[in-house]
Structure 1
Amino acid sequence: MDQTSLSTAGWNLRQSYANLPKEFYSHQKPDPVKDPGMVLLNSPLASTLGLDFDDYEEKVLANLFSGNELPPGSDPISQAYAGHQFGSFTLLGDGRAILLGEQVTPEGNSLDVQLKGAGRSLYSRRGDGRATLASMLREFLVSEAMHGLGIPTTRSLAVVTTGEPVYREQVQAGAVLTRVASSHIRVGTFEYASQYLGKESLKALLDYTIQRHYPEAAQDENPGLAFFHQVLNQQAALVASWMGVGFIHGVMNTDNMSIAGETIDYGPCAFLNTYDPGTVYSSIDVQGRYAFGNQPKIAHWNLSCLASALLPLFHEEKEKAVSIAQDALNAFPFRFKEHYAKAMGRKLGLKERRDGDDSLISDLLQIAEEQRWDYTHTFLFLQGDMPGGKLQGSELPAFQAWYRRWNARVTGDGIPLSEIQRAMQSHNPKIIPRNHLVEATLSQAVQGDIGSLYRFLEVCQNPFETGKYTRLFQEVPDSQWERGYQTFCGT
């Protein structure tokens, strides 16, 4: 396969990240794989990118998305960064990911195209640079489900098998995921620049990131501070959207926090079933640092790491810079509360925020926790879409009293409850990637039944619709299965 043949697919790649100082990356070609095979191709996403693979044979595409062949215009690199992992700072980098470049879409947007699991790099340390098929299918499935839910996220273009084994707890099939993102710049990228490269390189990274993501910040008298405020607001909105659908990221290290405000790195992620703020599924989060209810405060903590890295660019005097950073950080709880109130208000049919709404939300969640209600079903019940029409325990006095408060609140302007409930339907998903169904689907797909994954993906990409699969995908696991469920990073 030559470069000319690939050029007809619509590739329009550039590599602006390589204009940064050389310490930010290393040139790195993907390691060839033995026998690549296509598993998944996201044709709608390809179309958005301006790519058309309809005329290409599967073997050609498998070579392309495995990294055995490179698209025209690519300049493969691996990015250097650092990060706080479970609170401890360490030097990191793309240990198994290679950035081919940025695809300029027909609309003029620049989106990173990255191969994940493409082999060892300068930053691999003791890692093998590879990825398992199950973990790459999980990222494909959950990232596309998050996109369907309207939550900012990296996306998945393709998955290919490598024809080679990967050694984890067990021997598993190897795979490569093609990931698309607004960028792969992380909080940890700024920590790396601040800790190891100095002020000049830190300023170069800031200027590049502002130009790429927050160009309006360049016009501010303090661009670094304006940039920080933008990132803080994006993160507050992102985590509020996670909380609204019961998403648990599982490993909110600073190297997994995108500056662009997208959900990134779907390792031990999962979705809440029974409402419990202390829920943890990740096998490596033994202290519960990244529990569902901790996610807002962890985002705040991560932003403090970003602020610390940016101190030299806030002000030349350190004491003044720290004061500026602290003032900026103090805005996070208020910004998160605003975004969370909006997200939860839409779920409850509240048209605008009023006094008493915060307690209306918190009181419902307290009842849901006490009754061990399914988080998704709680809101479906309120909008009249509960499977079977009943929520066990909804007849109890505490909930009945709450329901009367809510009914009076949402119908207080003379709008019928039925109309309120119709409006709620576009904010309360009927379908989420239930953990037990994700595991069953991945197990079937790894064994060769990829059709089951396509069917699951189809309904997860349309989570607010009622279709023929609705009853199946609203099933909840039995409590014994749920208590024993764990997720793993796949590295």
Structure 2
Amino acid sequence: MTNRKEIGWNFDNTYSRLPKFFYNSLSPNPVSSPKLAVLNEPLATTLGLNPEALKSEEAVAVLAGNQVPEGGSPLAQAYAGHQFGHFTMLGDGRAMLIGEQITPNHDRFDIQLKGSGRTPYSRGGDGRAALGPMLREYIISEAMHALGIQTTRSLAVVTTGETIIRETELPGAILTRVASSHLRVGTFEYTARWGELEELQLLADYAIERHYPEIEADENRYLSLLRNVIKRQAYLIAKWQLVGFIHGVMNTDNMTISGETIDYGPCAFMDTYDPATVFSSIDRQGRYAYGNQPYIGGWNLARFAESLLPLLHENQEKAVERAQDEVSKFGELYKMNWLKGMRAKLGIFDEEEQDETLIESLLSMMQKYKADYTNTFRALTYDKPEGSEMFNASEFKQWYDQWHARQGRQKESNEESHQLMRNNNPAVIPRNHRVEEALEAAVEQGDYSVMERLLNVLSKPFAHTPEQEEYCTLPIPSNIPYRTFCGT
């Protein structure tokens, strides 16, 4: 056990008080020589932890999974999931939930170690993680947080001093992930498939108490649970689309009940606008392409609704009818959020019937001329559409006049309109080539300064400062498509 008071651990582990059906208790899987690589000091402070104490040998031993912190209750969660459409049993195969931290503001967060070793759910895997993918999750998740997108976060990355084997030998590492919870659609699928009705109800009640306490007194709180999860996911996926984020592996085990983005494996941000964009090396059919993400979100939520059927109504037919009615609303909710966000990106406050046509016309031109997604909106924000083939096209000039006429029909001033755009169009995103540059310096040379500079720029994506200019440049053109890997 480690010193709880000095570091600031303040655990209250509700998940470990659920029946053993939902998890397996674990003992630490020690690593040989843990060293702190990255620490998120602002997040540590928010969690009520002492950043300086977290740098101690004692604290690093906890972040490496070598020791259990006082009050901790290590476990691996059980869940299932549809992976690329195929249902399978899963579970935390390389992760360990060490406890639920209660913050000074009385918020509750899971503290999970990713890459902490084998569990009963490892299915033949080594349970470990490589340094590169863990640093990648740290960068992208913190960038998403700065963009105002609901997400799990990264507290620290610890190197293990050990080598793991993937395609080659790689340095091992463990990420400390912070989440509102790790309840997934797949958690409910697992319980619906292999649990009893009592356990399914217990899980649903737990999810409501933890994430939706305001619906506890509803006449049918389980229908309200479904409705609220659908609302949060419609909002989340719209936010992804608005910044060009591609998750890469939208399996049902990677969709949270809380509405947070989780699992930054083969994710990336789109440069050239193209709805068919795929970065994941394993998504050969484009199931999880940028343009498919809203559809897959609805598909995943249908699986969630199926798992809740026994709780929605005792009559199967009526339960299905209720579930279908709620899931059918996802597309409309998503589109409402997306349109609202796109209007903001174009400096539009109110609504007109032709707005969607105006938006789609711009996106169509961006695809036709292979325009950069982020930089196009950035140029419009500054009202300086120049320097690209699209901006010189006559069809764009016609669109540009229509756009300005649209802005002119609202009561807000030009300055208010441009401020709305600055608040909704990031100057910088985690450009793939910049992320790779940071990972290469850290992994190959032990130089974390490139990553630190990148994180500093990404922490204020809407600042639009001169210092961000160099991070807006595009990668050198290549005939080789950019590919990402899940790291397992």
Is the shorter-chain TM-score for this pair beyond 0.5, marking a shared fold? yes
Amino acid at match of 1:442: L
Query: 1:441 — aligned with what?
Result: 438
Once the two structures are TM-superposed, the CA of residue 10 in structure 1 deviates from its matched residue by 1.4
Aligned-residue offset at 1:101: 1.0
Q: CA deviation at 1:57?
A: 4.8
In the alignment, the residues of structure 2 paired with residue 187 and residue 419 of structure 1 have an alpha-carbon distance, to the nearest angstrom, of 40
**Residues 367/57 of structure 1: CA separation in 2 closer, same or farther (3 Å cut):** closer
The code of the aligned residue for 1:235 comes to Q
Letter in 2 for 1:425: R
SS in 2 for 1:426: helix
C-alpha displacement at 1:385, in angstroms?
6.6
The residue aligned with 1:175 is 173
1:316 aligned partner: 314
Contact 2:79-2:91 within 8 A present in 1 as well: yes
Q: Out of 69, 72, 87, which is 2:70 matched to? A: 72
Q: Give the secondary structure class of the aligned counterpart of 2:62.
A: helix
Query: What is the deviation of 1:411?
Result: 1.8
Question: Could you tell which deviates more after superposition, 143-152 or 17-26?
Answer: 17-26
The reply to whether residue 218 of structure 1 matches residue 216 of structure 2 is: yes
- Cα deviation for residue 393 of structure 1 reads 2.3
Aligned-residue offset at 1:466? 3.0
- Between the two proteins, the alignment pairs up a number of residues equal to 487
Is 1:488 the equivalent of 2:480?
A: no
**Residues 381, 391 of structure 1: 8 Å contact kept:** no
The amino acid that maps onto 2:450 is: S
Aligned partner of 1:424 among 416, 421, 426: 421
Higher mean displacement: 235-244 or 215-224: 215-224
Structure 2 length-normalised TM: 0.97
Q: Which amino acid aligns with 2:292?
A: N
For the residue of structure 1 that corresponds to 2:7, the secondary structure is coil
Answering whether residue 178 of structure 2 is matched by residue 185 of structure 1, we say no
State the partner residue of 1:240: 238
Give the superposition deviation at 1:394: 0.9
- Counterpart secondary structure, 1:173: strand
Give the aligned CA root-mean-square deviation in angstroms.
Answer: 1.4
Amino acid across the alignment from 2:405? A
Q: Is the 8 A contact 1:96 1:120 kept in 2?
A: yes
Of the three residues 268, 271, 274, the one matched with 2:269 is 271
Distance in 2 between the 1:177 and 1:25 partners? 20
Question: Sequence identity, in percent?
Answer: 51
In the alignment, the residues of structure 1 paired with residue 138 and residue 484 of structure 2 have an alpha-carbon distance, to the nearest angstrom, of: 16
Aligned position for 1:346:
344
Deviations 1:393-423, CA, capped at 9 Å, x for gaps: 2121211111111101112235443442232
DSSP 3-state at the match of 1:484: coil
Contact kept? 2:118, 2:125, Cα under 8 Å: yes
| Structure 2 unaligned residues grouped into runs of 5+ | none
Which of 83, 90, 101 matches 2:88? 90
Q: Does 1:412 align with 2:406?
A: no
Post-superposition Cα deviations, 1:187-210, rounded to whole Å, max 9, x if no partner, equal 000000000012110000000000
AA matched with 2:81: G
1:402 equivalent to 2:360? Answer no
Using the alignment, how far apart are the partners of 2:239 and 2:411 within structure 1? 29
Distance 1:385 1:377 in 2: 12
> Following superposition, which runs of at least 4 residues in structure 1 exceed 6 angstroms of deviation?
none
TM-score (norm 1): 0.97
Inter-partner Cα distance in structure 1 for 2:128 and 2:20: 25
Separation in 2 of the partners of 1:389 and 1:415?
26
**Distance change (3 Å), C-alpha of 1:51 and 1:366:** same
Contact map agreement 2:191 2:200 (CA 8 A) in 1: yes
1:427 partner letter: N
Q: 2:422 is aligned with what amino acid?
A: Q
Supply the distance in 1 between the matched residues of 2:299 and 2:120 (Cα, whole angstroms): 29
* Structure-2 separation of matches of 1:272 and 1:385: 22
Counterpart-to-counterpart distance in 1, 2:240 and 2:265: 15
Aligned to 2:476: 478
- What is the one-letter code of the residue matched to 2:154? S
- In structure 2, the partner of 1:451 is 449
Q: List runs of 5+ in structure 1 lacking aligned partners.
A: none
Deviation of 1:256 after TM superposition, in Å, equals: 0.4
Range moving further from structure 2, 174-183 or 357-366: 357-366
> Structure 2: which amino acid aligns with 1:460?
L
The alignment partner of 2:275 has SS state of coil
Shift of 1:102: 0.7
**Worse-matched range after superposition: 142-151 or 9-18:** 9-18
SS at match of 1:273: coil
Give the drift of 1:383: 1.2
Match for 1:398: what amino acid? E
Q: 1 CA distance for matches of 2:322 and 2:390?
A: 49
Conserved? CA contact 1:381–1:390, under 8 Å: no
Give, in whole Å, the separation in 2 of the partners of 1:285 and 1:220: 41
2:349–2:410 contact (8 Å) kept in structure 1:
no
> Contact 1:38/1:58 (CA < 8 Å) preserved in 2?
no
State the one-letter code of the partner of 2:7.
Answer: A
Counterpart residue number, 1:46: 44
SS of structure 1 residue aligned to 2:390:
coil
Give, as a single letter, the amino acid of the residue that structure 2 aligns with 1:89: F
In the alignment, residue 86 of structure 2 is paired with which amino acid? Answer: S
Deviation, structure 1 residue 211: 0.3
Q: Which amino acid aligns with 2:420?
A: A
Q: C-alpha separation between the residues in 1 aligned to 2:219 and 2:413?
A: 50
Asked if structure 2 preserves the Cα contact closer than 8 Å seen for 1:382 and 1:421, the reply is: no
CA contact (8 A) 1:113 1:180 kept: yes
